[in-house]
A and B are shown apart, each in its own frame.
Chain A
Amino acid sequence: MKWTFRLRNKEVSLTAVQGVTAVRPSAAARRRAATRSRLVQVFGRDAVDTSQGGRFGIDLPSRNRQLFERTGWLFVEPRQEVADVAAGRSAGVETADAVRPVFVDASGNLVIGTDLLTVQLAEGTSEDEARRRISDDGLQLVRRIGFAPGTYEVRVSGRASRPLTDSIEALQAARGYRFAEPMLLQAITGRSSFRPGDPHYDRQWQFRNDGSNGGTVGADVRAEAAWAFTRGKDANGRPVRIAVIDNGMQVRHPDLRPGVVGGGYFDSDGTGTSVFVRYQAGMTDFPNVSHGTFCMGMAGARTNGRGGCGAAPEADLLAVACMDDQIGTQVTLARALAYAADPTVEDAAANAADGADVIVCSLGPNGADWDLTSVLDQAITFAARQARGGRGVPIFWACANGHVELARDEVVSHPDVIAVGRSNRNDLADGSAFGPRLDFLAPGVEVYSTRSGSRYGFDTGTSFAAPLAAGVGALVLASHPTWTANQVRRRMRTTCDQVGGVVYNSRGHHPEYGFGRVNAAEAVK
C-alpha cells in the first residue's frame, strides 16, 4: 500500500510494509526477557523478508535493519494488540515505549513512522491562534521551533485515533497550514565507513588503496564502506563462519587465534589415507604452514591493534588442514571439504550447525591441468548444494597462477566452485588463469597478511585473492544470512567493478577479468 504526501511541495511516496511493525520494547520488557527471541515473542514473531526466505514481498534491506536494531528497535509480525497500536486503533501496550508502522522509500530504505509532525501555520498566525488551531485539529503541541516562525513540532493525539497517514493527509489538505510534514525515522548513513586501527593497515592496499604505495587510488575491494555495515557478523550478532582449507596454518597466531573456533586436520598415515584429528583450543601440534596462515589472515585476521586485518575481521574461522607435505589424494581433499561444510561427516560428536558458511581453498597443482575425480566431485556437490540446510556453502577456490586456460583445471572450473583470479594494485589482471569459467578477480599481488611465526608480510598469488574474496562472501552472508550459495555468487558477480579498461561482453564477463574486481561495498547492500 502506498502512502503519498507532500514534502516541500513535492510528492513523496512511501510503501507501507504490510504485516510488519517496528517496536521499541520498554526497559522493563527487556529485563524480563532473557533472550532476543523471547523479547520478540512478547510482541509477535520475528519479521523475515523474502530476501531471507521469509514471507514479506518487500526486501527489508538488512543493512538498514541492522542499524535500527542496534538502536533498540525490533521488526515483528505483530500480535493483534500490537498491530492495533501501529494502526492507530489503540493507544499503546505497556511492554513497549513505541509501536510504529514500517515503510520503505523509493530507494528501498527502511523508514519508521512516528506520531510526530512539523507544521507551519499560515503567515500572520499569532502564537495563540496557532496553539488553538493545533489543539482544535486534535494535535498535541510538543515544542515551538524557534529558528522558523510559526513552526511547531506536534504529536498526533495519544488517544486512540485514526492512522498517522490519514492525519497528515487531512492536515495537508486543510487551510491554515503552510506545511504539515511527518517526522520519520531514517538511517542517515551518508558516506560512513570503518577504518581499522591496526598498525599495519596502511600496508593493506587490498582494502584501501590511496595510491601511496604506487598503485591507483581506489584499486581495492572497497572494504571500508562495507565494514560500516558488517565486519562478519549478522544482525543478530552471529559471526559468519569461514573455513580455510590448506596444508596448515598457525592457529595460535595472535591475529588469528581469537577467531579460530574449530576445524581439524587430516593426518596422513603414510599409506594413502588420513585420520581426522579435531582442533582443540591450545593444541600445539596443528600443522603449521605459512601459506595457510597467510590465507587465513586474508580472510579473517582480527581488528585488534595488531598487524593488519582480514576481509571479514569479525567472522569465525575454521582451520582445516590436510596434506602438510603437499602430496596427497583427492579423497583427503574431498573429506576436508565435506567436513568443513558438515563436521558430522568426520566427527560423530560434532554438530552439523557448526559447519562453515563459506569455504575457501587455495590448494592445487602447480600447473594448469587438474583432473577431477568422482569423489571430489561428490564432495563439492555436497558442500555447495546440500550443506547449510540445503542453501549450500559458497566455495571459493584459487585458480592457477599461470596464464593458462581455466578449463584445464576441472576442479576450479567445476560449476559449483567460485573461481578467483588475482588483480594488482592498479586494478589490472595479473596473468592468472583465464576463460569463461573465471568468476572474478580480487587483489592478490604484493598483498599483506599474517605469516607463521606470528609474523606478517607481503606475498603474491591467486592463493591470497581467493580468501580475500571469501571474506567478502562472508560479509555478504552477514548481510543476508539465509541466502543460498548461488545468491552470494550472483551478488558478488553483479556488483564487481568492471576494471581493466577492457570490453566486457553482454553478460558482463571478460575472460581475463571474469565479472571484474570484487567490490565489497556494493556486494553487502
Chain B
Amino acid sequence: MPDVRERTFRQRNRRITLREVTDLIAVREGAGAARSEGGAAESLPPDVPLSQVRALEDSGWVLRERAQDATRADLPRASIFVSPNGRLLLGTDRLTVKLTADPTEEDARAILGAFGVRITRRLRFAPGLFEVTLTDSAQGDALDVANRLVDSDRVEFAEPIFREQLGPR
C-alpha cells in the first residue's frame, strides 16, 4: 500500500489536493540509469499509469525507497506527488509568485525574502511575476511556502513548480 499524505495548495484560485508519496523519492541518476527498483513503482497509487513512471525513467529519474536511498548525495532529488487525475509530479524547491503590484527588484526581494524565498528570475510577460527559490530560511517545502504567500494581500498568486511529463503528441 502506498504511503501517502494529502497536501493542498491553491492553483488558479482553486484548491488542489495532491497525494504525496512519502516513502518514495525520485533521484535523477541521468541517462542510462537503472529502472526504478521493483517495489518502488508498486508503491505508487494504482491510478498512476506505468507509462508515466517509464517516461520519468527515460529522462533519467529513478524512483527509490526513501529509507533505502543510498545514491550519491549530490544527485538531484525530488518528492513525488500524484494529482487527483493520476498524473505524476516531481516537487521542486521553486515557486511562481505574482505580486499584486509591479515592484522594483529591490522591493520584490524584500517582500519575498520575508517568506524565505529569493528571486531566481523576473518573468517579464506579466507585471510582478517572479520565479523564486526556497532559501535556507524557508519553513517547509514549496507547497508550505506557497500556502503562506497566498495569505498575504501583496500576493496575487503563489504556486509550487512541479516537473511533469511533457512530451510529443
A interface vs B, CB < 8 Å? 246-247, 270-273, 289, 291-292, 323, 325-331, 333-335, 338, 341-342, 344-346, 362-367, 369-375, 377-379, 382-383, 398-401, 408, 461-463
- Do the beta carbons of B168 and A382 come within 8 Å of each other? no
User: Which of chain A's residues have a CB closer than 8 A to the CB of B169?
Assistant: 362-364, 398-401, 461-463
Smallest CB gap from A461: residue in B? B169
User: Which of chain A's residues have a CB closer than 8 A to the CB of B126?
Assistant: 378-379, 382
User: Which of chain B's residues have a CB closer than 8 A to the CB of A334?
Assistant: 123, 125
- Do the beta carbons of A365 and B166 come within 8 Å of each other? yes
User: Which of chain A's residues have a CB closer than 8 A to the CB of B159?
Assistant: 373-375
With A327-B163, A363-B169, A365-B164 given, is the CB distance from A335 to B55 under 8 Å? Answer: no
User: Which of chain B's residues have a CB closer than 8 A to the CB of A374?
Assistant: 11-12, 96, 98, 157, 159
User: Which of chain A's residues have a CB closer than 8 A to the CB of B94?
Assistant: 272-273, 329, 331
- Do the beta carbons of B165 and A326 come within 8 Å of each other? yes
Q: Is B124 an interface residue (CB 8 A)?
A: yes
1/0 contact trace for B84-112 toward A, CB 8 Å? 01110010111010100000000000000
Show 12 residue pairs from A and B whose CB-CB distance is below 8 angstroms, ordered by the A residue: A272-B94, A325-B58, A328-B166, A329-B92, A329-B162, A331-B123, A331-B131, A331-B161, A346-B124, A365-B87, A374-B157, A378-B126
What CA separation (Å) do A272 and B160 show in the bound complex? 11
Q: Is B28 an interface residue (CB 8 A)?
A: yes
- Do the beta carbons of B164 and A327 come within 8 Å of each other? yes
What CA separation (Å) do A292 and B76 show in the bound complex? 27
With A326-B59, A372-B12 given, is the CB distance from A378 to B165 under 8 Å? Answer: no
Interchain CB contact (< 8 A) of B165 among A271, A272, A366: A366
User: Which of chain B's residues have a CB closer than 8 A to the CB of A365?
Assistant: 87, 164-167
What CA separation (Å) do A20 and B108 show in the bound complex? 54
A272-B92, A331-B96 given; 19 more Cβ-contact pairs under 8 Å: A246-B168, A270-B76, A273-B120, A273-B133, A323-B167, A325-B59, A327-B59, A329-B163, A331-B94, A331-B123, A338-B124, A345-B125, A363-B168, A367-B85, A367-B87, A373-B11, A378-B123, A378-B129, A463-B169
What CA separation (Å) do A294 and B60 show in the bound complex? 25
- Do the beta carbons of B60 and A325 come within 8 Å of each other? yes
User: Which of chain A's residues have a CB closer than 8 A to the CB of B157?
Assistant: 374
Return the 9 tightest CB-CB contacts between A and B, nearest first.
Answer: A272-B92, A326-B167, A325-B59, A338-B125, A369-B85, A291-B168, A382-B125, A345-B124, A375-B96
Nearest CB on B from A369, distance (A): 4
User: Which of chain B's residues have a CB closer than 8 A to the CB of A291?
Assistant: 168
Nearest CB on B from A361, distance (A): 9
User: Which of chain B's residues have a CB closer than 8 A to the CB of A408?
Assistant: 85
Interchain CB contact (< 8 A) of B49 among A325, A344, A362, A367: A367
User: Which of chain A's residues have a CB closer than 8 A to the CB of B68?
Assistant: none
User: Which of chain A's residues have a CB closer than 8 A to the CB of B60?
Assistant: 325
- Do the beta carbons of B166 and A371 come within 8 Å of each other? no
User: Which of chain B's residues have a CB closer than 8 A to the CB of A375?
Assistant: 96, 123, 129, 159
User: Which of chain B's residues have a CB closer than 8 A to the CB of A247?
Assistant: 167-168
Query: Of residues 21 to 49 in B, which have CB atoms within 8 Å of A's CB atoms?
Result: 28, 49
What CA separation (Å) do A367 and B164 show in the bound complex? 12
- Do the beta carbons of A272 and B123 come within 8 Å of each other? no
Q: Is B147 an interface residue (CB 8 A)?
A: no
What CA separation (Å) do A34 and B59 show in the bound complex? 54
Nearest CB on A from B41, distance (A): 16
Interchain CB contact (< 8 A) of A328 among B123, B125, B129, B164: B164
Nearest CB on A from B130, distance (A): 10
- Do the beta carbons of A366 and B51 come within 8 Å of each other? yes
Smallest CB gap from A289: residue in B? B168
1/0 contact trace for B141-169 toward A, CB 8 Å? 00000000000000001010111111111
User: Which of chain A's residues have a CB closer than 8 A to the CB of B90?
Assistant: 327
Query: Of residues 116 to 143 in B, which have CB atoms within 8 Å of A's CB atoms?
Result: 120-121, 123-126, 129, 131, 133
User: Which of chain B's residues have a CB closer than 8 A to the CB of A326?
Assistant: 55, 58-59, 165-168
Q: Is B80 an interface residue (CB 8 A)?
A: no
Nearest CB on A from B6, distance (A): 16
Smallest CB gap from A348: residue in B? B124
What CA separation (Å) do A408 and B162 show in the bound complex? 19
- Do the beta carbons of A373 and B12 come within 8 Å of each other? yes
- Do the beta carbons of B167 and A366 come within 8 Å of each other? yes
Smallest CB gap from A408: residue in B? B85
Nearest CB on A from B20, distance (A): 16
- Do the beta carbons of A362 and B168 come within 8 Å of each other? yes
Q: Is B83 an interface residue (CB 8 A)?
A: yes
Smallest CB gap from B55: residue in A? A326
What CA separation (Å) do A308 and B147 show in the bound complex? 53
Q: Is B114 an interface residue (CB 8 A)?
A: no
Nearest CB on B from A122, distance (A): 73
